[in-house]
Structure 1
Amino acid sequence: MKIKHLRNLLAALVLAAGSNMAAADAGSVSSACASLEFMAKMLAVNTTLPANYDNPRQLTDMQSAMQELNRLACQPVLLTETTRFSSRYGNGQFVSADLYDSAWYYPNGQLFVARPGRDTPIYYPNGQVMAFRWARGGQTLYWPNGNPATFSFRTINEAWYYPDGHIITYLAGARDERWFYPFARLDGQVGQELISSHWGVDGETFQAINYTNDGWMFMRLERIRDKLVLSDAELLDVPGVLLMLTRFYQVPDAAKQFMPGDSSITDAPW
């Protein structure tokens, strides 16, 4: 092989390696931001449906901390040298020494993740772990208040629980299964009130919460249609499904703000 050709080959290999490393670095940030987006769903559900002993002020403060991390690490459409290495919160706390390859922190100094895109513990702003082996799946997942959400996340046909311990579903990630509201049956019978026995299936019924003029709750049957027709994959994202349901009842949440900054905001408005 001629020296010139050898040099060209080596140059091409170096460029390819650099390109692969850049893609891996960007992938690490995308992974961490997707984790933060999922955490925002968990927090939104816990805030909307708290356990009796939950502290609303703490949940609100956690949301603010996560929004700041999201703004500085995940909303920039492109990481420059400054945003990658030198992003700081208003109180002077560093977000990360290197967003590609170092620990990320919340404004209060609490660790979010030790290394983005790696199989490490991931933490809420209050120090509560969300999962000990986040990238692996099949592990226990915790709500911000410390109660287990499921004992095997990213696993089909596993049970999920509300922040107060009530059952959500016995079979996540499966259509045509029972999902429950976090309160007792209104007819006085044992058990929780059903959302639906065939949740996610087009044309089946679900029980929608309604109120009389006197403020008494009652259930009215509605048809599952449009956005409530869900796939098995969508039903594996239990917090996302719950937020879809709370939005059906016009309950506000901040989870939408955590969509990654590199997603398009320039599409036509229809």
Structure 2
Amino acid sequence: MPGKNKQVYKAIAAPPMRTRNLAVWLDQHGQKHTELAGPALIHQPLELARRAREPVQYKQQLHRHGKYWFAQLGHHVWHESMFEKHALTFLDFLGNVSHVIAQPCLLVFDDGTYHYPDYFVVHDDGSRALLDVHFEQLITDKTMRTFANTKKVCDAIGWKYETFTHGLASRRGQKQATANRRAAQADQPRKRTHWMSERDRGHLPATIAETRPDRQNDKSADPQITLIYLDTAGIRRSDSIPVIDSSQLAEICQSS
């Protein structure tokens, strides 16, 4: 089937006549099966099936293919995007599963459309489910119709239907709040609180209170400045000196 940039990916082709709900998959030996969506499919070993669709990678693609190490199963599970990887992470740590397979089958709907579900999941209690992963902000009316058709087929077979659309909403919210806060700070003029900024205006702070407002009531602290510089040998040095004016500071720097 043609993909972006006219590349071709391997996939089970949908039947030309699509007037009934069908499930199409490849078994572990690569043999193609086409069955009506009904209770007879509930115990078909789709967890052993080959991937019904294998997208190719192409230049400048926005999503990232990869494999997630599924700790419960002890092997890798393929994912088509980083959002699918996060869905697998949630499933791994929050659910009890015995099998997970990516792109398990092709579902053909009686309205003429078709769909490749993202994952087939077998839970520890024996229940089976199809899982679709779709970013919440990218869901369209077409996506909602696909979800509804898939749930209808799952109900007819006896599978569960699960979707993962907003598992990272809180993290996205935190990142957006951080971005908004930084943008607001960037719009405000920066305060000149360091003594080096004062030197640019031709003088140094006269008292320790001007340099360190938090130490204004500290009567024991003598007004002084820590001067960090490189001597003639290139060695980094630091000296604490009393508060002085700019001309005296220039003389010290020249003598060093």
Q: TM-score range by the shorter chain?
A: under 0.3
Q: When the two structures are superposed, what TM-score results if normalisation uses the length of structure 1? A: 0.24
Q: Would you tell me which structure has more strand in proportion to its own residues? A: 2
Q: When the two structures are superposed, what TM-score results if normalisation uses the length of structure 2? A: 0.25
- The structure whose Rg is larger is 2
